[in-house]
Structure formats: structure tokens, C-alpha cells
Amino acid sequence: MTCSIFSDYKIGNLTLDNRIVMAPMTRGFADNETGEVNHLIADYYGKRARYGAGLIITEGIVINELAKGTYGIPGIFTHRQTLSWEKVTREVHQYKTKIFAQLWHVGRVSHQEILKGHAPVAPSAIGASGQVHRLRKPFQAPKPLSHAEIYQIIDDYRQAARNAMEAGFDGVEIHAAHGYLIDQFISEKSNIRQDMFGGSLQNRLRFLDLIIKEVKKVVPKNRISIRVSEKKDDDRDYVWEQPVEMVHAITEVLSKHRIKIVHPSVENYGGALKNDHRSLHELFRKYWRETLIAVGNITPNEGADIIKENQADLIAFGKLFISNPDLVVRLKANQEIFPYHTKEQLKNLS
Ligand SMILES: Cc1cc2nc3c(=O)[nH]c(=O)nc-3n(C[C@H](O)[C@H](O)[C@H](O)COP(=O)(O)O)c2cc1C
């Protein structure tokens, strides 16, 4: 039987109404002081659910007070933040849509002005290249993490995941992509540690490995998605030198933990991998038999073909879900899909 993008999909005891996922997208709409979300955010996600998204993955939600990299980022480490997310999950669940919380720590992609006077933290004292979003100052040199601090962060991931389940989320996505903290451990350019968290690729993957081990204690393994990417926001020139080796090593860690969902992101950098003509989800398909989410500048027609040809199981759309809250209804009815415009593009249009 050939599947369509509108066919339902099961991951263990989790059933999605269709194969269409809203990709995680930071919006900066949370209260900057408290990290709580309000009814407008519940309404924003609720709209995408009402019009039929199968699964929503939230914007990155930070797991402790040193985890954020700009203003207006929500958290899920205090009791009040956790309660504030209940509004969102309740709204979304009215429409049978499932929702995962994306758990985030930006590591060195930050600045003390964002972190109330604290320096950003990272595996090693190597600064990221680029500027802090909205603050428009260069990323600050990070403080390398001690062993005790690393284990505290791993605990913080477990607590944040527990809070997410208490707030009514159906699962969590661990953000190990785009050059943020977990990815900073994985990359040999940002991690020059000489202990059990640095050196070999296996050691550099240990932080992710231990986080998954802890998160699995509080979230069923079929409800944990892992997001990885080849390219990085902390170093725009960096790409995986050996994508095949990297994908293979990552899938070994995930398989060891019997994780069921992987979400390889190609962000906005275009499809093909260095030294490889495939895009990232195609490379993962070679090594990964469980649920695979394809994403990144995919048009609805391409998405339908990817599902039909079984290159991936789910298709995530990001920007099109911003410009079309009713994206799924429009796709079903074959109606016009509105393009996404950045703020600058909108200014030029008016
Ligand atoms: C405004 C915006 C914010 C984003 N924030 C996040 C984020 O918080 N976490 C994440 O993993 N990816 C984030 N992304 C990447 C998207 O999840 C997605 O991978 C990317 O937009 C490519 O998909 P698209 O071409 O369908 O938009 C963001 C993208 C956009 C446009």
C-alpha cells in the first residue's frame, strides 16, 4: 500500500493523524523575565492544531537559566513555566494533534547580557563566530564546563523532560543540532577537551548519550525525538568532514537507547551534504530503520513524493506553517500556499 502525506502514522502507542509535522521555530514571544508563555502562544500553536497538523514540535524551550541565547525564549525548568505550558498542550489536544517540547541549551551561542551577568558555558573556552540574535553583539567567549557542571546539565535535561510530561506534552525533542550545546560537544572544532567528553567521536557523543539515558527515565523511548544537523549556527563555515561516519556514529548511539525518532535538519543551507550528493534524511535512511522526519526547504509536492517513495516517514514544514496556519487544510483542498516573508521582505513589499 502506498502512503500519502495524509495517511495516519503510528510510533508505538502514539498515533499521528497525518504525516505533516510543524517544525520547531523560535519566535521570541515568551516573557523575557520569567520564561513563561501566555494565551497568545497557546492560540498560535492551537491554530496550527485546529487546522490539522499531525505533530507540532515547539520552538526551543530552555532547560535552565544559562541555556538561552536571546530575548523572549521560553523555559521549562520552573514550576510556573511548566504550568504556563499546560495552556498550550490543552489547546492543541482539543484537536487530536500531538505536541512535543523541544529541549534546548545554546551553550556558547550567548552573552552575559542575555544571561544576567553570567558567562555562557561550553565544552571548551572557544568563542563562537557571529553575533547574538537581537542583541547584535559578538558571541562571548564561554567558560568551559567542569565535570560537576556537565552532570548538573544532564540532570537539568531530565528534570525539564519530566516537567514537559507534567505539562501534558506527548513527548520531547532533544535539540542536538545547529551548533548548540550538545552539538558543541559533538564537534571537534568547539570541543578540545581531553577527558571522557572530548577526543574521539565516541567521547564527544557521550554528553548526548548520557542526556538520552536520563531523559528516557521520564519519557517513553518512542516519544523522544533527536534533532541533529550537519551545519551550525555557531560556525557558519563548518560542515561535517565525514558525514557518513558521523551519521553512522549518531545512529549507533540512538539505536543503543532504542530511540524511535530522528529529525535531521538541513536548516536553510540547501540540501546536499559535503562529499555526498544525498540530503541528510536520505543518508540517515541508510542507517536508520525507525521513524525519520525530513525537513528543510521541502515543497508540499516534494514532501508528498518523499513519503510516497518511503525516503522518510514524516515531513516537517517550518516557514510555511508561519505563513499558512491552515497549511494542512490548504494542502488537502489543493489551495494556494502563501510564501513566507522575513520582516525585511515584508517591508519591501509594502
Ligand atoms: C523563525 C525560525 C525559527 C527557528 N527556530 C528553530 C528552533 O528553535 N529549533 C530548531 O531546531 N530549529 C529551528 N528552526 C529551523 C526549522 O525548524 C526548520 O528546520 C527550517 O526552517 C527549515 O525548514 P523550512 O524550510 O520548512 O522552514 C527555525 C527556523 C525558523 C525559520
**What's the confidence (pLDDT) of residue 260?**
97
Residues 127-177 pLDDT 10s:
999 999 888 899 999 999 999 999 999 999 999 999 999 999 999 999 999
**75 CB near ligand 1 (under 6 Å):** no
User: Would you mind telling me the total number of residues written for the chain in this entry?
Assistant: 350
Does residue 180 carry a catalytic annotation?
yes
**128 CB near ligand 1 (under 6 Å):** no
Could you identify the residue written with the cell 541565547?
69
Residues 37-90 pLDDT 10s:
999 999 999 999 999 999 999 999 999 999 999 999 999 999 999 999 999 999
Q: Which atom of ligand 1 is nearest to the CA of 175?
A: 11
270: left (phi over 0), alpha (psi -120 to 50) or beta: left
Three-state SS at 14: strand
Q: 9-11 and 14-16: which strand pairing?
A: antiparallel
Residue 273 — very low, low, confident or very high, per pLDDT cuts 50/70/90? low
Choosing from 9, 51, 157, 180, the catalytic residue is: 180
Tell me the domains of the chain and their CATH numbers: 9-349 (3.20.20.70)
Q: Which atom of ligand 1 is nearest to the CA of 177?
A: 11
Residues 292-327 pLDDT 10s:
999 998 999 999 999 999 999 999 999 999 999 999
Torsion of CA 193, 194, 198, 199, to 10 degrees: 120
Instruction: List, in order, residues 6 or more apart from 191 with CB less than 8 Å away.
Output: 123, 124, 184, 185, 197, 198, 204
Q: For residue 339, is pLDDT > 90?
A: yes
Instruction: Label residues 131-160 b or e (16+ Cβ within 10 Å = b).
Output: ebbeeeeebbebebbeeeebeebbebbbbb
Q: For residue 279, is pLDDT > 70?
A: yes
